[in-house]
Amino acid sequence: MLILAFRRFISMALIMAIISFTLFALFESDKLAVAGKVLGPYSNTEQRLLWLENNGYNEPFLARYGTWVGNALTGDFGQSIQYKTPVSEVLWPRLGNTAILAGLYMLIMIPLSLTLGVIAGMKEGSPQDRFVSVGSVLTTSVPEFASATFFTAIFVFWLGWLPGTAAMSSGFSWAEIFLPVLVLVMYGFGYTARMTRASMAEVMTSHYIRTAVLKGIPYRRVILRHALRNALIAPFTVIILQLNWLLSGVIVVEVFFAYKGFGKLLLDAALFGDIYVIEACTLVAVFVAVFSQFISDIGYTLLNPRIRFT
């Protein structure tokens, strides 16, 4: 078990190293372009060369990469071009905001989709199964920017119940975060629910469930003790890996509702050409993704004795 964790950890570190190197090579191998980005389009070549000299850009490429990684590890991602402040000062608060959004989403989505999936999968073809199946196809077909449009049209402009933005200009507000979370849940729960349903339905037709029923133990126990544990292994990994896809939705929602989060920061930086922010955001996003994969692998092994003891 520990060995496995260690191996996973090594491969995680390796992936991070490769990605960070590619990223650095992509954005910073052309030194003059970097200087151009920092100093603006009206700077001349002389100024740019001087800036490169002053900022240690004339070191060999690998040495620069080393310094950059070292700095990144200590939380120093350089100076934002757009905001003229250290990147970390913008990054962490934004990341916190997104964590709130994603956390609320997970808090609602996980119990909702697991419950619905299990209920649907318990009896394949039953009315509750059809309801959940059709419902989840419908909601996963409506992308976030579309459902956000619909919900805003209904709740904001027509009924006037909720605010149309979530800028949180006067501090955290439940009313403002309601729609963003709703939009994310609408789009996101279907996938996990369908996965859970399929997994549960498969388990319910398995021979060991037959054994359990024909052993004469109560139906409740068959479901809770025999079926659930095996049925939830697959959705568990899906939920964690969903973080990878979640970020797309998060960006859309943050843009739509003007929520000051990590996604909007990344998008703005990309559109502005704020390379240090892009680098920092990418590193953080990839780290979260790789780390979640690590957790998912470990969790999968813990849940599945067939892998744990071999």
Partner 1 sequence: MTVEIQDNDSSPSTIGKMFKSIGLLRESPVAIFGLSLILFWVILAILAPVLPLYDPNELLEPFKFPLSEAKDGGLYWLGTDHKGRDILSRVIFGAQQVLVWATTATVVAYIVGMLMGVVAGYLGGWYDEVISFISNILLSFPVIVLYIIIITYLGATGFNIVLAVTFASAPGIMRIVRGLVLDLRTRDYIFAAQTRGESSMYIMLVELLPNARGPLIVDACLRLGYTTITIAMLGYLGLGLPPPDPDWGKMIAETQPLGSFAGHMAVVPAVAISSLVLGFNLLADGLREISMKD
Partner 2 sequence: MEQTPILECRNLCISYDTRGGEIPAVIDFNMKVMPGQGVGIVGESGCGKSTVALAVMQYLGSNGYIKSGEILFHGRDMRTMSQEELRAIRGSKIAMIYQEPMASLNPSMKIGEQLAEVPLFHEDVTRAEAMARALELLEAVKLPDPKRILDSYPHQISGGQQQRVVIAMALLSKPDLLLLDEPTTALDVTVERGIVELVKEISAEFGTSMVYISHNLGLILDTCDRVTVMYSGEAVEDGTINEVFDDMKHPYTSGLFASIPLPGADKNERPLVPIPGQLPLPHQRPQGCFFSPRCAFCREGICTTDKILMRPVPQEEAHTVRCARFEEIDWAEGDHEAVTVKSVKSGKVVLKVRNMKKYYEIRSSSLLSMIRRDAVKTVKANENINFDAREAETVAIVGESGCGKSTFAKVLMGLEEATDGEVILNGEDLAHVSVQKRKARTVGHLQMVFQNPFDTLNPSHSVGNQIARVIRKFGVEKDPEKVRQKVNDLLDLVKLPRDFAHRRPRQLSGGQKQRIGIARAFAGNPAVVVADEPVSALDVSVQAAVTGLLTEIQNDLRSTLLFISHDLSVVRYLSDRVVVMYLGHIVEQGTTDEVFSPPYHPYTEALLSAVPIADTSVVQKQIILEGDIPSAVNPPPGCPFQTRCPRKIGSICETELPPLKEFQDGHQILCHLDDDVFESMEPVIVMHKKGEVIPVS
Q: Which two tokens stand for residue 218?
A: 């109560």
124 binds partner 2 (CB under 8 A): yes
Q: Which two tokens stand for residue 163?
A: 């605010």
Task: Please list the residues that pair with 86 across neighbouring strands.
Answer: 79
Which residue has tokens 């003891």?
Answer: 309
**Alpha helices by DSSP H, the chain:** 2-28, 31-39, 45-54, 61-73, 87-122, 127-140, 144-151, 174-204, 207-214, 219-221, 228-231, 233-241, 243-256, 262-272, 275-303, 305-308
Residues 224-253 that bind partner 1 (CB under 8 A): 243-248, 251-252
Cβ contact 240:293 at 8 Å = yes
130 binds partner 2 (CB under 8 A): no
69 binds partner 1 (CB under 8 A): no
Binding region for partner 1 (CB under 8 A) out of 65-73, 178-186, 216-224, 287-295:
287-295
305 binds partner 2 (CB under 8 A): yes
Q: What 3-state class would DSSP assign to 195? A: helix
127 binds partner 2 (CB under 8 A): no
206 binds partner 1 (CB under 8 A): no
Site track 174-193 with partner 1 (rule: CB under 8 A), x = hit: --------------------
Taking the chain, what is the end-to-end CA distance rounded to the nearest angstrom? 11
Q: d(Cα 199, Cα 229) in Å, to the nearest integer?
A: 11
Among 69, 255, 298, 303, binds partner 1 (CB under 8 A): 255
Which residue has tokens 């998060």?
Answer: 250
Among 52, 110, 112, 156, binds partner 1 (CB under 8 A): 156
Binding region for partner 1 (CB under 8 A) out of 41-49, 84-92, 231-239, 266-274:
266-274
Among 56, 96, 111, 218, binds partner 2 (CB under 8 A): 218
Q: What 3-state class would DSSP assign to 232? A: coil
Q: Which does 174 bind (CB under 5 to 8 A by kind): partner 1, partner 2, none?
A: none
Closest contact distance (angstroms) between CB of 173 and partner 1 is: 20
Q: Which does 3 bind (CB under 5 to 8 A by kind): partner 1, partner 2, none?
A: partner 2
Whose Cβ is closer to partner 1: residue 168's or residue 286's?
286
Cβ burial, residue 203 (10 Å; 0-12/13-18/19+): buried
Which residues of the chain form contacts with partner 2 (CB under 8 A)? 3, 6-7, 123-125, 206-208, 210-219, 221, 225-226, 229-230, 233, 303-306, 309-310
